[in-house]
Amino acid sequence: MELHMHSHHYVRRLPDWTAAAVSGLAAGALLLVVELFWSSMVTGVHPWGTTRMIAAIVMGRDVLQNSFFSVGTVTAALIIHFVLGAVLGCVLCAIIAPFQLDSSVRMSMLVGAVFGLVVYLFNFYVMTSAFPWFIDVRGWYTLAGHLIFGMAIALCYWKLESRDVSH
């Protein structure tokens, strides 16, 4: 019986950028749904709170003072959220591809979870120096959302990538 081990050493292999961006967008959409569900159904917080926090990144702190629905605020939040999702999808896949971390769905999911943890720590413990209003949403539910986000990118990429991408 022959045992096949996947080596995860560096090889010159570019990710499938389209699959990476689409994976980030899909994972961003899933995270958005999870956050909206969690905030309104479980924690009882107004669902537009997260939207205003994200929009405040570019619109400023004044957005946080208003609790009403605003098309401009929602649009800004969605643009920021999905651009970051696509960028983070590309970052994760730029790590996955050259180290062949897409050798199995389990490995991809593990790498995605670790990536989600790193994104959570960066967003809620580093970036809060620039955007302190995110300190209030630190917690296990936000961490869980980011783990789901990372694993969703990895799973989508594992399913969508063109395995013959190389250079």
In a domain, 100, yes or no: yes
Say how many domains are in the chain. Answer: 1
In a domain, 65, yes or no: yes
The set of residues, in sequence order, having a beta carbon less than 8 Å from that of 80 and lying 6+ positions away, is: 54, 55, 57, 58
In a domain, 11, yes or no: no
Give the pTM.
Answer: 0.87
Name the DSSP letter for residue 104. S
Tell me the pLDDT tens digit for each residue of 47-106: 788 889 999 999 999 999 987 888 999 999 999 999 999 999 999 999 999 999 988 999
* Best CA proximity match to 49, nearest among 60, 39, 62, 41: 39
Hunting for tokens 């090889």 — which residue is that? 11
In a domain, 97, yes or no: yes
In a domain, 165, yes or no: no
pLDDT for 50: 86
Neighbours of 6 (CB within 10 A): 10
Domain that holds residue 110: 17-160
In a domain, 140, yes or no: yes
In a domain, 99, yes or no: yes
